[in-house]
């Protein structure tokens, strides 16, 4: 097998392979619908293809690189996903080779951190990825959410005309992804994703988004704005059967506390599996920020902290947040 950059001619075949692997039952959206940034043609430079002896596509992988705001300044992170192999090529270690190639590409391009999301982290532990960081998952069924909205506030569905205001609310979060021009419109317009807005005086004060295409069903994956109004929107999302849980990233401890006080019972979980392709860059960022680095700079958990066996958050020297729309 030969691994090289995915070509434009291979793109459609790769998408078909991804759909067959992660969307086999036809849930109403395609992989490109759900991951428009990572799988779009404009991200070809970060896609890799494995070809067999006949030059046919045997597998592929995509990485989305974006800059994140963190406690150690702005840091580039590569989110790895859509790792697929053709059915007759499985069991040959091709997935591991594709992931190793993706990490090597990140090293060459000076991207210090890599992340992926999986239900089986034990598989990736031997490939340099460890569960790290944290986020809260809170069920909404038991929460005493405020209904109806305060006088003068209108709750309605999100519309494309709300894009600019939604971006502004997102950018108020302390830790977040720096989205490039065009990212927000593609993310908020994903098929299968429902947005709700709280508006008063003609101004959008809060938003919530339910689902991420066929990913994160029944979840509020992204939200922003006035916390009181976000809670009202959560009540509306629950009443309309759009969501039964919410994802609360690191850095939003105050909101997680509000949810806990209302009976939502937030549960801390790792924010994905992480690897450190370039520890030297992280060391430089920590030094510049005046942050003491961990004794094991090539260990992602040592940098990001994690969740203890008792379910408690154990912070690391590098704090960051991954929102649902920015995971791959």
What pLDDT is recorded for position 254? 95
Asked if residue 210 is part of any domain, the answer here is yes
- Looking at the structure, do residues 258 and 145 belong to the same domain, yes or no? yes
- Looking at the structure, do residues 221 and 118 belong to the same domain, yes or no? no
Q: What percent of the chain has pLDDT over 70?
A: 98
Asked if residue 328 is part of any domain, the answer here is no
- Residues sharing a CB contact under 8 Å with residue 54, sequence separation 6 or more, in sequence order: none
Average pLDDT over residues 31-46: 95
The helix or strand, by DSSP H or E, that contains position 253, with its residue range, turns out to be helix 253-261
Distance CA 310, CA 328 (A): 28
HSE-CB at 128 with a 13 A cutoff on CA atoms is 19
pTM of the model: 0.94
**Chain segment 230-285, per-residue pLDDT in tens:** 999 999 999 999 999 999 999 999 999 999 999 999 999 999 999 999 999 999 99
What pLDDT is recorded for position 41? 96
pLDDT band at residue 92 under the 50/70/90 scheme: confident
| Phi, psi angle pair for 169, to nearest 5° | -65, -40
Helices then strands (H, E): number in the chain? Answer: 10, 17
**Chain segment 101-132, per-residue pLDDT in tens:** 999 999 999 999 999 987 777 776 667 899 99
Sign of the CA dihedral with 54 first, then 60, 66, and 68 last: negative
- Looking at the structure, do residues 70 and 115 belong to the same domain, yes or no? yes
Taking 70 as the threshold, does the pLDDT of residue 135 lie above it? Answer: yes
Distance CA 152, CA 156 (A): 13
CB-CB contact of 241 with 221 (8 Å)? no
- Looking at the structure, do residues 198 and 117 belong to the same domain, yes or no? no
Rounded to 5°, the CA angle 72-76-82 comes to: 135
- Looking at the structure, do residues 276 and 265 belong to the same domain, yes or no? no
Specify the pairing of strand 73-85 against strand 113-116: parallel
Structural domain range at position 215: 136-269
Tally the domains of the chain.
2
Asked if residue 216 is part of any domain, the answer here is yes
Average pLDDT over residues 67-91: 94
What is the average pLDDT value for the chain, to the nearest integer? Answer: 94
Asked if residue 54 is part of any domain, the answer here is yes
CATH number (domain holding residue 87): 3.40.630.30
């Amino acid at each position: 097998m030969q691994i090289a950059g995915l070509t434009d001619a291979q793109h459609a075949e790769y998408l078909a392979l991804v759909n067959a692997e992660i969307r086999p039952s036809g849930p109403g959206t395609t992989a490109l619908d759900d991951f428009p940034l990572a799988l779009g043609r404009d991200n070809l430079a970060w896609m890799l293809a494995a070809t067999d002896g006949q030059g046919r596509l045997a597998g592929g992988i995509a990485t989305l690189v974006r800059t994140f705001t963190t406690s150690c300044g702005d840091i580039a992170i590569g989110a790895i996903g859509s790792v697929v192999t053709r059915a007759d090529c499985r069991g040959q270690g091709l997935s591991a080779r594709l992931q190793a190639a993706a990490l090597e590409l990140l090293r060459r391009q000076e991207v210090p951190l890599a992340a992926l999301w999986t239900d089986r982290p034990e598989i990736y532990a031997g490939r340099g990825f460890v569960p790290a960081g944290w986020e809260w998952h809170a069920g909404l069924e038991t929460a005493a959410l405020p209904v109806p909205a305060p006088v003068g506030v209108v709750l309605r569905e999100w519309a494309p005309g709300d894009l600019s205001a939604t971006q502004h609310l997102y950018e108020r979060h302390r830790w977040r992804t720096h989205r490039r021009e065009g990212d927000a419109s593609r993310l908020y317009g994903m098929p299968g994703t429902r947005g709700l807005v709280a508006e008063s005086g003609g101004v959008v004060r809060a938003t919530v988004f339910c689902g991420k295409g066929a990913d994160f069903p029944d979840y509020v994956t992204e939200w922003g704005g006035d916390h009181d109004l976000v809670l009202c929107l959560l009540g509306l999302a629950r009443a309309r059967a759009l969501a039964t849980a919410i994802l609360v990233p690191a850095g939003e401890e105050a909101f997680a506390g509000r949810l806990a006080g209302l009976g939502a019972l937030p549960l801390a979980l790792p924010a994905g599996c992480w690897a450190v392709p370039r520890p030297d860059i992280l060391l430089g960022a920590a030094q510049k920020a005046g942050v003491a680095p961990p004794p094991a700079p090539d260990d992602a958990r040592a940098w990001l902290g994690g969740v203890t066996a008792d379910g408690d958050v154990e912070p690391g020297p590098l704090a960051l947040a991954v929102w649902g729309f920015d995971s791959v």
